Amino acid sequence: MPSVLSKAASRKASQSRNPGNPLHPVSPEELESWSDGGDSESTLNETLPDDLDEPWPYTFHKGQAVWVRTSGGNWHSGRVSSETTRKGNTRKKEGLFYPVKFDGNLRKYFAPQNGEIKPDTPHIRGLLKKGGWL
């Protein structure tokens, strides 16, 4: 299985990928309005992603088990940390970025609308297995 980028290399790759896209803190009120606006758990009952890289609107919670795709293209299990959820530009529009701790003590922000974070569910584990990641 491919190795994970070092913490410094991961940070540098992230900065070079989005140099003009700073992330901003989200207030509790904003977070609530995003959740009410369709970026919510109700999407689990709607169409599930057919591909791991597919954007999928979903609201994550502190401590939730997730799968994240690093800038190197590798998928790793992690947990949403207790740091501040942020907002910034995604592939198509402004969206939420969740702080995730993974692979020991690495931390990074991931956006569901970029297809780079998925909840740890049987469906997602099936896609990971199909893709050779499990």
CATH fold of 7-17+25-130 reads SH3 type barrels. (2.30.30)
Sequence-distant (≥ 6) Cβ neighbours of residue 92 within 8 angstroms: 55, 113
Average pLDDT over residues 80-107: 87
Residue 5 confidence (pLDDT) above 60: no
pLDDT in tens, 37-64: 544 444 445 678 888 888 888 889 899 9
* Contact (CB, 8 A) for 100 and 107: yes
Give the residue, 32 or 11, on which the prediction is more confident.
32
Q: How far is CA 54 from the centre of its chain?
A: 12
Tell me, what's the pLDDT at 11? 39
Mean pLDDT of 89-107: 88
Tokens of 20: 């003009």
Q: How far apart, in whole angstroms, are the C-alpha atoms of residue 117 and residue 34? A: 17
Written as one letter, the residue type at 20 is G
What does the domain layout of the chain look like in residue ranges?
7-17+25-130
DSSP 55: -
pTM (two decimals): 0.72
Instruction: Tabulate helix, strand, coil % of the chain (nearest 5).
Output: 30, 25, 45
